[in-house]
Amino acid sequence: MKFNVQFANKSPYKKLTLKFVVHYYHYAGVESVGVCYGVNGNNLPSRQEVVDLYKSNGINQMRIYYPDEQALQALRGSNIELILDVAKDTLSSLTNANEATNWVTKYVTPYAQDVKIKYITVGNEIHPSDNEAQSILPALNNIQNAISSANLQDQIKVSIAIDMTLIGKSYPPSDGVFSDQAKSYIQPIIDFLVSNGAPLLANVYPYFAYIGDKQSIPLDYALFKQQGNNDVGYQNLFDAQLDSVYAALEKVGGSNVKIIVSESGWPSAGEDSATTDNAKTYLSNLINHVKSGNGTPKRPGTIETYLFAMFDENQKNGAATEQHFGLFNPDKSSKYQISFN
């Protein structure tokens, strides 16, 4: 995961931007958050052991970042709901309708009866300046068409996952707007989501916002520990970030688009604020918050959220913290005593 911090104008908590994992939804009967399953480590358990670990901990939702057939096989009959990402290096090929059909035929159709694929993410944190950006809209349309041809359109929604760098201003949250650079890129994508009744996935990390501006953002505000609201009516940074994206959606015709928090987490090592205590506090409070039904000031209700991530991944690149977002150690022992349901 990478991050980018953008500061909003004239803000006591200037603003954050970044990239972000967790899961819970608006549906009645959903009783747990989800967890993202990354595999950038050389010491991780087998796919079957991982699925068993999800089940034994009552984690009923998973996100994977490419169509890992070993994981898909292990998920058969597990009743675990799944976000299935298209691998970044595959995106350009899916601008070809036949290739998109082949992708669905290989990775979706054979599993759809006994793996609960809920979303397909066609691009994770692709920015307007990225080479892959021009591929996103045609790939979305082609995957959607292939899903519809397989008669899976009611079971599986097709979307993208964004990070907060696409938001040009996020404070106060009601002023949230997509950046000028992002507007021409995101507008047709939002139109696609609206026409297909699909949600937008967003990676939301208060941690990155906090470390980008510790002087302006209180730690308690980032950890859901602040007492009372700030001057614009927010008690925590997560809600402020999420509502800034909702406000941005409203300004591009996406008022009815729901947001799924496809990543959120807090590292346990790698810099001063990345401690086991802070990570446990954030994760526990986040789980309680998204399940409470209180929602955000703009959108009451439960918030479908996926925590980042299942394991520490010792081969992740970037800042030292990148290798320490796991809820579990590679030996499957839990880092924190938290309840997922």
Catalytic residue among 49, 99, 132, 263: 263
User: Active site includes 125?
Assistant: yes
Query: Which is catalytic among the residues 125, 304, 313, 322?
Result: 125
**Which pair of tokens denotes residue 281?**
């506090």
What lies within 8 Å, CB to CB, of 147 at 6+ separation is 104, 108, 120, 153, 156, 158
As a whole number of angstroms, the distance between CA 216 and CA 298 comes to 23
322 within 8 A of 316, measured Cβ to Cβ: yes
| Segment (H or E) for 239 | helix 237-250
Distance from first CA to last CA of the chain, Å, rounded? 26
- Using CA atoms, how far apart are residues 214 and 310, in angstroms rounded to an integer? 27
C-alpha triplet 339, 264, 37: angle, nearest 5°: 75
Whether 250 is catalytic = no
293: left (phi over 0), alpha (psi -120 to 50) or beta: left
Contact indicator for 3, 209 with CB cutoff of 8 Å: no
Cα 143 to Cα 86: distance, rounded to the nearest angstrom = 10
CB 321 within 8 A of CB 267: yes
CA dihedral of residues 285, 288, 293, 296 (deg, nearest 10): 10
Question: CA dihedral defined by 322, 244, 7, 164, rounded to 10 degrees?
Answer: 30
SS3 186: helix
Give the relative orientation of helices 133-149 and 97-107 as an angle to the nearest 10 degrees: 60
Residues classed as catalytic? 125, 263
